Amino acid sequence: MQTPSRPAGRRTEPPASLDALGSACSELLDAALRVGPGDCPDLLERAAQVIRGLTEELAPHRREASGRPFYVRDARVGIHNPVQPRPRLETADGVTRGEVRFGVAFEGPPGTVHGGIVALLFDQLLGHHNVEIGIGGMTGRLEVRYRRPTPIDAELTLEARTLRRGERRAQVCGEIHHGDVVTAQAVGLFMQPRRRSTRG
């Protein structure tokens, strides 16, 4: 889903310190979820206390959702958000290709990516493809077909291409591959909002 227009005066790029924090939070979450039952309980409790302390320090700087900065790079959210997929994407000759690897934070059934995360990835992938070829719009419909379980801790390849393009609409398809196996496919309809009249 392409990001709506941001309010004037807000940054579009997050500061490097926020990117670093997002990466650290992502790494911490993945590491914590890999700890076995009964392993290092004291270390886990100490980590929880440190995190709570840092959260309290950040509390005075907290803004309401309507007043916080809205950081935009493209249709992908970016590394400053630790709970979003982070695909590596490139667009050439009208096709977007890339790679992504999901850690255990995105696990649904054991060993596989949660189906809702697969759909989220497709929304990012197809939206990014649209932005790159100049037909960005809001997601109107997204249909996902789950062909095989999509594994965590595996290198996955991605592909997206345009099926149809109109004045305000575009239909785009995408696939996720694990090796030679297609694990999921999607077709999305993206629409550009009508421009409001400026006449009084």
Kindly tell me the burial class for residue 159, based on how many C-beta atoms sit within 10 Å of its own C-beta (0-12, 13-18, 19 or more).
middle
pLDDT tens digits for range 66-91: 888 877 665 556 788 888 888 999 99
Q: Is 34 helix (H, G, I), strand (E, B) or coil?
A: coil
**Mean of the per-residue pLDDT values for the chain?**
88
Is residue 10 predicted with pLDDT exceeding 60? no
Predicted local confidence at residue 3, as pLDDT: 43
**What does the pLDDT read at residue 147?**
98
**Mutual angle of helices 16-33 and 41-58, in 10-degree steps:** 150
| Residue spans per domain, the chain | 88-191
Q: What Å distances lie between residue 77 and 83, 128, 199, CA to CA?
A: 10, 10, 35
CATH architecture designation of domain 88-191: Roll (3.10)
- Bridge partner list, 97: 90, 159
Beta bridge pairs of residue 170: 165, 190
pLDDT for res 74:
57
Confidence (pLDDT) at 21: 93
Reported as a single tens digit per residue, the pLDDT across 123-161 is 999 999 998 988 878 899 999 999 999 999 999 999 999
pLDDT confidence tier of residue 1, bands split at 50, 70 and 90: very low
Please write down the long-range contacts of 35-42, taking CB distance under 8 Å and 24 or more positions apart: none
In this structure, how many other beta carbons lie within 10 angstroms of the beta carbon of residue 133?
A: 18
Sign of CA dihedral 143, 112, 95, 190: positive
pLDDT surpasses 50 at 191? yes
Q: Note the helical H segments in the chain.
A: 16-33, 41-58, 115-132
**156-180 residue pLDDT tens:** 999 999 999 887 889 999 999 999 9
For the entire predicted model, the pTM comes to: 0.84
Decide which of 195 and 93 is more confident.
Answer: 93
The candidate with the shortest Cα–Cα distance to 72, out of 121, 2, 122, 9, is 2
Q: Strands, DSSP E only, in the chain?
A: 88-92, 95-100, 138-146, 156-165, 169-178, 181-191
